[in-house]
Every structure is written in structure tokens, then in C-alpha cells.
Amino acid sequence: MRFKTACRTRRIVFPCPMSDLHNDISAQWEARTILSARREKTEFRWYVMRDLKRFNAKLPAYKMLGDMGIEIFTPMVWKVAVQHGKRIPQEVPFMQDLLFVHSSREILDPIVERVDTLQYRFLRDGKRTFMTVKDADMERFKKAVGTALNPRFYAPQEITPDMVGKKVRIIGGLLDGYEGHLQKLQGSAVKRLFVELPNLLTASVEVQPEFIQLL
């Protein structure tokens, strides 16, 4: 049984029970206050973050932040889980600990301080430089996977040289102007283009052969 993958910005209304999620609730209310006071005064960037909660947590970070009205982006895929002896399809993050958050330090810092399972990612440069993605690169990636019927996602270590084909430019269609490498697919007439966020995530999206120009 196959299911369509999805990758989208999530803005979720998620009820938060008053139990062991007390710290998360406090962080949400504080963030709402900060959002209201500072939204027009801060510079938003796409921060790369990690969520250390279990994969079956009731309130993963992408839902918690979405409930606050903070723009997030995480690749979603369909997987089949067994619950009470029944096989149930569930839409879950492709990488549990990878999350892109469009916000500012002023808004995110108080949340990170209170929710110890939500962390910034840093460059390995010895300076603890916050890892971010340029707005243009993120919009390019989001557009590619958002318009694809069946995007496939890969972690950086999953892309091997024998998977990478010729470099091309797309002329026409929804991805007009995109450049990248085709994915090598033996015995398939389908053409797929790699679109990447370097060192973070790669997507493979289907493109029409008539739109492909070799470089």
C-alpha cells in the first residue's frame, strides 16, 4: 500500500492537556506574548532546529510551535503503524529531529530555555554559529516539494555518487529555471530532479522530460 508523501508549512491548532506538558504550555503563552509585542521589530530567519522528543510524543515540536502561530517546515511522509492489532497509516516527519523554524532569536530563545527537548543546531565551526537557511533557498525547496505529487526525501548520507546523474536546467513548467542533477533510475522512464538544502536534506521530484535541458 503506497501513500503520497507531503512536505508543507504546518500551522496547527492542537489542544494542550494540563499534565506533564506544563513547561510546554508556559512556553506557548510566553511565546504568544513575545509574538504580539515584537513581530514587527525583529528579523525573521529560517533556523535549523532539532526535536529530541520520542517519535510517538503527544506534542512534538512541530505541533507545539504551529499551535503558537510560528511558521515551521518539516518534510512529512506516510508510514503504517500497528495500533491495537490494526495497521493504521500515519503522517509523520521524515526526520524526527530535523525542523526548520521561521522566527527570531527574541521569540525562540525563551521557548528553547523552557523546553529542553527543543534545541538549535549549530555549524561545526568552533564558534557555535547558529545554523540557518537563506529565505530564497528555503522557498525554492518548499516550492519544489510542494508542487510534486510524490517527493522522495533523503538524508545527506543517503545520496551516493552512483545516484547522481547529469546536470540539467528546467525550462518551462512549475519548476521553470531550476538547476540541479537528475537522479539515476535504472529501467525507469520517469525523470526525477534532486533539489537540496546542502548538508541538511535532499528531495527528489518528478520532472517532465520535455522541460529538461542538459548543461
Q: 26-30, 86-90, 120-124: which has the minimum mean pLDDT?
A: 26-30
- The model's confidence at residue 80, banded by pLDDT at 50, 70 and 90, is confident
Burial of 141 (0-12, 13-18, 19+ CB in 10 A): buried
* CA angle, 37 then 41 then 43, to 5°: 125
164-170/99-103 β-pairing: unpaired
> What is the band of 41 on the pLDDT scale with cuts at 50, 70, 90?
low
Rounded Cα gap, residues 147 and 129, in angstroms: 32
Grid coordinates of 203: 528531495
pLDDT band at 83; cut points 50, 70, 90: confident
Pairing of strands 201-207, 191-197: antiparallel
The residue with cell 536534506 is 201
Find where cell 509523520 sits. Answer: 92
| pLDDT tops 70 at residue 22 | no
Mean pLDDT of the region 186-200: 93
| Grid cell of 11 as nine digits | 500551522
Q: What is the pLDDT of residues 128-156, one digit of tens each?
A: 999 999 999 999 999 999 999 889 999 99
**Contact between 133 and 200 (Cβ < 8 Å):** yes
Determine which of 15-19, 25-29, 182-186, 196-200 has the lowest per-residue pLDDT on average: 15-19
Confidence grade of residue 26 (pLDDT, cut at 50, 70, 90): low
Residue with more model confidence, 32 or 102: 102
- Sketch out the chain's domains with CATH numbers: 6-133 (3.30.70), 136-214 (no CATH)
Whether the predicted pLDDT of 114 surpasses 80: yes
Tell me the three cell numbers of residue 60: 512534538
Quick one: pLDDT at residue 105?
A: 93
Residue 209 banded pLDDT, cuts 50, 70, 90: very high
Mean predicted confidence (pLDDT) in 65-72 = 92
Identify the residue whose cell numbers are 521530484. 205
Q: Which residues of 54-78 are buried (b: 16+ CB within 10 A; e: fewer)?
A: eeeeebbbbbbbbbbebebbbbbbe
Whole-prediction pTM = 0.78
- Residue 8, classed as helix, strand or coil, is strand
Q: How far apart are the first and last CA of the chain?
A: 38
Decide if pLDDT at 2 tops 60. no
Q: What is the pLDDT of residue 77?
A: 86
